[in-house]
Structure 1
Amino acid sequence: MDDISTSTLAIILGVLVLISAFFSSSETGMMALNKYRLRHLVSKNNIPALRVHKLLARPERLIGLILIGNNLVNIAASAIATIIGMRLYGDYGVLLATIGLTVVILIFAEVTPKTLAAWFPEKIAYPASIILTPMLWLFYPFVFGLNSITNAFLKIFNIKPANENGQTLNPDELRTVVNDANSMIPRKHQDMLLSILDLEKVTVEDVMVPRPDILGIDINNDWKVIVKQLNHGQHTRMLLYRTTVDDAVGYVHAKDILRLTSKTQFSKETLLRAARKITFVPEGTPLNNQLLHFQREKYRIALVVDEYGDIIGLITLEDILEEIVGDFTTNQIPGANDDYHKQKDNTYIVEGSANVRDITKELGWKLPVDGPRTINGLILEYLEEIPKPNVSIRLYGYPVDILDVNDNAIKQVRVHVDLYKAKKAKKP
């Protein structure tokens, strides 16, 4: 070293700092890569991505290589800095070189390159892999020895690597990924993906048509009444029953009705023979399971029964699909909804039978969806009694006027959404 000039040593020191910056940025860039984008590029046979993916397949080897190179460079830089310091300042040069090199390493070989690599991992990792790949082959004996010692030390503490390297996502983490997609996935598509993930949390009784709202045909009625109902039916499938829904016979499809009406002999007997078998599903069945049942059994309508076998509602394939993609039925008036009506003063008149989940999804209200399924049930649970008309309450922050109570049920309420928003805006 005595034969090498101080200026030459300074240049060598600068080169060593740059090499240290390379190793530091490479480590951060490799670890900060989007693993799912990397897998996508690998599936497209992208050469840089394939090279990086091979390095990351054994992360302990990659980290071992980078640490070996980084430590060798930093130790060499420390030795050269000490020599330069002693030449310039004598014995004090050791202390000055230590302090000065620490500052230089931190700024130019650690913080700055690692920050850049965290911001632009692909721009750092892919070019770095060109150098790291042959280096791994060259230093493999040292890397293997280092990993062997490290693994043996970890075994003492019974620490084992995860089989899947922590790359799997649970449903909640996947929801976070979808929400963070922002402009990369349109908002409508994000909502659909999130709805699919939420299917396992939603049961058939959350989206079914409640028993009082089931539209069907009582085959015990006069034949003229039945024909009128068939001609004016608004659904492609009509439930057939005797006297009550509990004695369901089956259902008929609109195309079956058209076929029967084209014949000269159209009667109750021919209608009953054309009826298709109705299926029953228990309450509490998750929508994802019911969707698979619909697909596997090739049917699109079922009656929901409780633990006593009583019919409590009707579920169709369309109900589940609307839970995913939103309401795709056609209203006569765009934006119209029978469950609620917006007033000129920005209040809403809401029917007591309105489904809480539908209201929260369509209007964005913050109401609990894991309890009662209707506005009537939600208010009754909150008050623990049947209220009288013209009573005002605050329901989960929303000022609500009870307008109509009949047959032991709340039929209609008025919701003051603006007052709720104003109160929320005042909170610090």
Structure 2
Amino acid sequence: MDDISTGILFSLLILLLVISGYFSGSETGMMALNRYKLRHLANQGHRGAKRVEKLLSRPDRLIGLILIGNNLVNILASAIATILGMRLYGDMGVAIATGALTLVVLVFAEVTPKTLAALYPERVSYTSSVVLQLLMKLLYPLVWFVNGITNGFLLLLGLRVDHANDGKLNSEELRTVVNEAGGLIPRRHQDMLLSILDLENVTVEDLMVPRSEIAAINVNDDWKSIVRQLSHSAHGRIVLFRDNIDEVVGMLRVREAYRLMMDKNDFSKENLLRAADEVYFIPEGTPLNIQLLKFQRNKERIGLIVDEYGDIQGLITLEDILEEIVGEFTTSISPTLAEEITPQPDGSLMIEGSANIRDLNKSLNWVLPTDGPRTLNGLILEHLEDIPDSQLSIEVSGYQMEIIEVSDNMIKQVRVLPNQLKKTG
């Protein structure tokens, strides 16, 4: 070193600091990359993305390569800085060089390049991957040796590199990704994706038409009554039963009944029963994602939900599940949530007691409990443990409500006060 001029040593020191900054920035850029965006670009044929993905397939080797290069450069820079300090300031130059080099390395070889790489990880990584790929080939024996030692040490601690996180997302993490997509995915599409993720947390009982509201015909009624119910039916299919709805005998397509009506000779109770399809039963508690697949696999569109005793609890259709994903269809006969909520001049909301709690939570951003009754009427009755009189003011789960109308042992209308809406809206 004594034969090398001070100017050349300064030039070498600056070059080493630049190389150190390159390694520091490359490390941060590689680790800060969006792995899913990287995988997408690689699948699209992006050459830089392919190089980076190959390097990141073994992150232990990549980190080993970067740290080997960075440490060699920093140690050599420290040695040159010490020589320069002693030439310029004598023995005090060692301390001066140490302090000055520490500050310079921290600012220009660590913080600045790492900040730049964190802000623009794609640009830094795709460019630096060309040099890193070449260095990996040249220094592979050294990298392999160092990784062998570190992986062996990790193995002693009970850790295996090949069992590291593979980057797969669970449903909650995927939900966060969708929410953070912002303008990249239209809000409507985000809602649909989130609804699909929610299917596993919702059961068929949450969407079913309750037992008391199922469109059904008692085949033991007189013939005129049956014909009248068929003629005025607003549904595409009707449940046929004998005396009690738990005694289901079939599911009749109304258009098939109309076809029989066209031929008076074939239009009889016996032929009506013969034309009915076999009933498809669904166990209560079935998650919607499972039931959607079962509908597809069994080529069914409608089913009756039964409890552990075989009693009918309700009815659900394929359209009900699809509406949970994409929103209500305009052809739906059932009242929509918008029809069950009436805004009042004072800012309060008048809500039908039959309104579904999950729909209220989703539409109004409320947090009413969903682990019990499924309607507002049921929630209030459970809270009071009695059938109340109208004009009763209560607080349910932190929501101030006023019962407006009660009839047939059911709460028909409830008003939610505006002060509560301001807190939760």
Q: Could you say whether these structures have the same fold, taking a TM-score greater than 0.5 normalized by the shorter chain as the test?
A: yes
2:147 aligned partner: 147
1:215 aligned partner: 215
1:93 aligned partner: 93
1:302 aligned partner: 303
Deviation of 1:332 after TM superposition, in Å, equals 9.1
State the AA in 1 paired with 2:386.
E
CA contact (8 A) 1:349 1:413 kept: yes
The percent identity for this pair of structures is 59
State the AA in 2 paired with 1:130.
V
Is 1:15 the counterpart of 2:21? The answer is no
CA gap of 1:289–1:336, structure 2 versus 1, over 3 A, is closer
Is 1:70 the counterpart of 2:50? The answer is no
1:187 aligned partner: 187
CA contact (8 A) 2:348 2:421 kept: no
State the AA in 2 paired with 1:93.
G
1:413 aligned partner: 414
CA contact (8 A) 1:25 1:117 kept: yes
State the AA in 1 paired with 2:7.
S
2:314 aligned partner: 313
CA RMSD of aligned residues (A): 2.1
SS where residue 371 of structure 1 aligns? coil
CA contact (8 A) 1:25 1:113 kept: yes
CA gap of 1:292–1:336, structure 2 versus 1, over 3 A, is closer
1:365 aligned partner: 366
The normalised TM-score by structure 2 is 0.94
SS where residue 8 of structure 1 aligns? helix
> Matches of 1:344 and 1:241 in 2, distance apart?
47
State the AA in 2 paired with 1:171.
S
Aligned pairs for 1:278-427 (under 5 A) are: 278-330=279-331, 337-416=338-417, 418-423=418-423
> Matches of 2:94 and 2:337 in 1, distance apart?
82
CA gap of 1:148–1:332, structure 2 versus 1, over 3 A, is closer
What are the Cα deviations for residues 347-383 of structure 1, in whole angstroms up to 9, with x where unaligned? Answer: 2222222211122223333312222111122112223
> Matches of 1:132 and 1:110 in 2, distance apart?
18
State the AA in 1 paired with 2:312.
I
1:120 aligned partner: 120
SS where residue 312 of structure 1 aligns? strand
Deviation of 1:334 after TM superposition, in Å, equals 11
Uncovered stretches (5+) of structure 1, i.e. residues with no partner: none
Once the two structures are overlaid, the 10-residue window that deviates more, 336-345 or 384-393, is 336-345
CA contact (8 A) 2:366 2:424 kept: no
Deviation of 1:148 after TM superposition, in Å, equals 1.0
Aligned pairs for 1:153-302 (under 5 A) are: 153-163=153-163, 165-265=165-265, 266-302=267-303
State the AA in 2 paired with 1:195.
S
> Matches of 2:393 and 2:124 in 1, distance apart?
63
What are the Cα deviations for residues 112-154 of structure 1, in whole angstroms up to 9, with x where unaligned? Answer: 1111111111100001011011111001111111111111222
Deviation of 1:335 after TM superposition, in Å, equals 7.4
> Matches of 1:276 and 1:332 in 2, distance apart?
22
Once the two structures are overlaid, the 10-residue window that deviates more, 328-337 or 107-116, is 328-337
State the AA in 2 paired with 1:111.
V
CA contact (8 A) 2:282 2:304 kept: yes
The normalised TM-score by structure 1 is 0.94
State the AA in 1 paired with 2:111.
V
State the AA in 1 paired with 2:121.
P
CA contact (8 A) 2:279 2:303 kept: yes
SS where residue 412 of structure 2 aligns? strand
State the AA in 1 paired with 2:355.
A
State the AA in 2 paired with 1:384.
E
State the AA in 1 paired with 2:90.
G
Aligned pairs for 1:26-65 (under 5 A) are: 26-65=26-65
CA contact (8 A) 1:398 1:419 kept: no
State the AA in 1 paired with 2:385.
E
Uncovered stretches (5+) of structure 2, i.e. residues with no partner: none
CA gap of 1:319–1:366, structure 2 versus 1, over 3 A, is same
Once the two structures are overlaid, the 10-residue window that deviates more, 195-204 or 213-222, is 213-222
CA gap of 1:332–1:195, structure 2 versus 1, over 3 A, is closer
> Matches of 2:180 and 2:130 in 1, distance apart?
31
State the AA in 1 paired with 2:368.
L
What are the Cα deviations for residues 70-118 of structure 1, in whole angstroms up to 9, with x where unaligned? Answer: 0011011111111111111111111111111111111111111111111
Deviation of 1:339 after TM superposition, in Å, equals 3.0
SS where residue 400 of structure 1 aligns? strand
What are the Cα deviations for residues 379-410 of structure 1, in whole angstroms up to 9, with x where unaligned? Answer: 12223333222110122232211122334432
State the AA in 2 paired with 1:277.
E
> Matches of 1:210 and 1:336 in 2, distance apart?
16
CA contact (8 A) 2:151 2:161 kept: no
SS where residue 399 of structure 1 aligns? strand
CA gap of 1:334–1:401, structure 2 versus 1, over 3 A, is closer
